Amino acid sequence: MQSDTAHLQSSDAHKVAFTIKEAARASGLSRSLLYVAIGRGSLRARKCGARTLILDSELRRFLRSLPRFTKAEVAPEATA
């Protein structure tokens, strides 16, 4: 299993909080998905003026809460 820091790019690993754009880059998820997760309440964000921030601990908690990928979920390759 990968460590939590494996999800974050090395340049962002030291940050305490991320903007939406930074959180998307660090996690590999889209900005749209992050906004949906925030809207659903599964990812908690903070506001600082107009800026939306996601704490490092919240981003890691959200990533850990995602379902695990299993081999059974892999679609069989199409035969040509």
Please write the tens of the pLDDT for every residue from 2-49: 455 455 555 656 889 999 999 999 999 999 999 999 999 999 999 999
Split into its structural domains, the chain has a count of 1
Give me the domain span that covers residue 55: 9-66
Res. 51: pLDDT tops 50: yes
Q: Nearest CA to 45 among 66, 25, 22?
A: 22
Residue 3 within a domain: no
19 within 8 A of 10, measured Cβ to Cβ = no
Q: For residues 14 and 53, what is the distance between their CA atoms, to the nearest angstrom?
A: 15
For residue 75, which amino acid is it? A
Q: Model-level pTM?
A: 0.71
Residue 4 within a domain: no
DSSP letter, residue 75: P
Structure tokens at 13: 């690993």
Note the residue count of the chain: 80
Q: For residues 26 and 7, what is the distance between their CA atoms, to the nearest angstrom?
A: 7
**CATH code: domain of residue 31:** 1.10.1660
23 within 8 A of 4, measured Cβ to Cβ = no
